Amino acid sequence: MKEEEKQTLLKVIRQLLGLTTILLFGGIALALILIFGLPDLSVDKDKTTKNTAVEKVEVEIVDTVKYWQAPNENSLANNSKKDLILYGKDIIANTANYFGPAGKVSKNKINGMNCQNCHLDAGTKVFGNNYSAVASTYPKYRARSGATEDIYKRINDCFERSLNGKALAVESKEMQAIAAYINWLGKDVRKGKKPAGSGFKEMAFLDRAADPSNGNLVYNQKCVSCHKANGEGQWNETKTAFIYPPLWGDNSYNNGAGLYRLSNFAKYVKYNMPNPTYHNNPQLSDEEAWDLAAFVNTQVRPKKDISKDWPKIEEKPFDHPYGPYADGFNEAEHKFGPFKPIKSKLDLMKKEQDKNKKTS
Ligand code: HEC
Ligand code: HEC
């Protein structure tokens, strides 16, 4: 072989070696990306402004998950349907103006709170107990009543429990308006589905029972400025509606309400309070949220006769604080936890029951 040919051959070999190295490293890098995913370069662009209860807050949620968004009101054609939907929205945002102490439709039908106090931004906020999954999942069987409930029954549940008030007549214009608004919000959700961001964000259990005395300490640091020393909240000047809604006492939700269950309270508060808080930037630890739930829900509040709730006792949730129970745990354990063992027991019972159903 001539010297010249040798050189060319060596060059080709070197180039081939180089190429192999590049391919090798490229391959390893690709494999790593496939296994561990791309590094997270996204920035949390949550823009929040300091606010009082009445100010509207601008927020832009940038997240990897595509959360549900309410339909745009501008897409509504100008007709009586639109008027009804917007009337429903206003009742949800300003319920006290219609049914509170100086209610336009009916006085003192409710405790003075608004649906929006718990269904934030008129039931549109991501993980703010929004209404996105109502149209798609009702009518449905609910274990609390042991019956199939339609949307009217579910709305009246909140009137009678969360607002500690009286049910609306189904045919009333107000009930029809609330239902029209909630159905419109969920109109693009497929039947039977719950979109990402609906209801509450899930949260881990503690390994211990929730501790009301620690909750009291957290309350005094992080909640008392708005919800006040006796949990009474703050009325507006004319005492016709709340600027800051009450957390306990005569004007609060009663012991049959959803928030009276520790898990609902903890999830609501962790991802929404102090107001305003967004689920991707919580201000409370899990322990603080559970302990706050235990503290607030051991204070005095209105009572409802709920002896007919959860007619099938094996369907009572782990945090329903009134016996009798089918799972062998007592009322104190169901009220404060630790909830993990109760939940596991209930899951096991459910599994066995399903198995028996299949074999019989
Ligand atoms: C004190 C807080 C509070 C207030 C005020 C309140 N709700 Fe609720 N509401 C809840 C909670 C908590 C739940 C979820 C309960 C559960 O899943 O156990 C809920 C659930 C609902 C649901 C079912 C949601 C779903 O996805 O299944 C509807 C509908 C509803 N509320 C309507 C209303 C309306 C209308 C009003 C006003 C008339 C109202 N609520 C006022 C706390 C409240
Ligand atoms: C800056 C004032 C502020 C602070 C601080 C604050 N909240 Fe709230 N909270 C509000 C407002 C305002 C609402 C009603 C939101 C709405 O209507 O849009 C609310 C609603 C609630 C509700 C649902 C309605 C009700 O009254 O039952 C609960 C529960 C709650 N807050 C608990 C807490 C807890 C617990 C803390 C402490 C971690 C806290 N909040 C801190 C202003 C505040």
Whole-number Å distance, alpha carbon 332 to ligand 1 midpoint, is: 25
Whole-number Å distance, alpha carbon 109 to ligand 2 midpoint, is: 22
Q: 124 CB less than 6 Å from ligand 1?
A: no
Cis peptide before 274 (omega within 30 of 0): yes
Each residue's pLDDT expressed in tens, for the chain with a length of 360 residues: 667 777 877 787 788 777 777 777 767 766 666 666 555 444 444 444 444 445 555 555 556 789 999 999 999 999 999 999 999 999 999 999 999 999 999 999 999 999 999 999 999 999 999 999 999 999 999 999 999 999 999 999 999 999 999 999 999 999 999 999 999 999 999 999 999 999 999 999 999 999 999 999 999 999 999 999 999 999 999 999 999 999 999 999 999 999 999 999 999 999 999 999 999 999 999 999 999 999 999 999 999 999 999 999 999 999 999 999 999 999 999 999 999 999 999 999 999 999 998 887
Which of 268, 273, 288, 299 gets mutated to test ligand 2 (max ligand atoms within 8 A of its CB)? 273
Angle at 247 between CA 315 and CA 114, to 5 degrees: 85
Task: Residue 295: name the closest of 194, 192, 223, 354 by CA.
Answer: 223
Tokens at 103, concatenated: 């209610």
Tokens at 301, concatenated: 């509040």
Q: 247 CB less than 6 Å from ligand 1?
A: no
Residue ranges matching CATH 1.10.760.10 in the chain: 78-185, 212-359
CB 117 within 8 A of CB 128: no
Whole-number Å distance, alpha carbon 264 to ligand 1 midpoint, is: 11
CB 161 within 8 A of CB 167: no
**What residues form DSSP beta bridges with 148?**
141
Q: 259 CB less than 6 Å from ligand 1?
A: yes
Tokens at 183, concatenated: 């159905």
3-state secondary structure of 55: coil
Q: Which fold has domain 212-359?
A: Cytochrome Bc1 Complex; Chain D, domain 2 (1.10.760)
Q: 113 CB less than 6 Å from ligand 1?
A: yes
CATH class name, domain 78-185:
mainly alpha
Q: Quickly count: other Cβ atoms within 10 Å of residue 344's Cβ.
A: 12
Write down the pLDDT at residue 8: 77
CB 292 within 8 A of CB 218: yes
**What residues form DSSP beta bridges with 122?**
none
Alpha carbon separation from 246 to 6, 141, 283 (Å, rounded)? 90, 31, 20
Write down the pLDDT at residue 157: 98
Residue with tokens 């103006």: 97
The residue whose C-alpha atom lies closest to atom 18 belonging to ligand 1 is 258
CB 111 within 8 A of CB 255: no
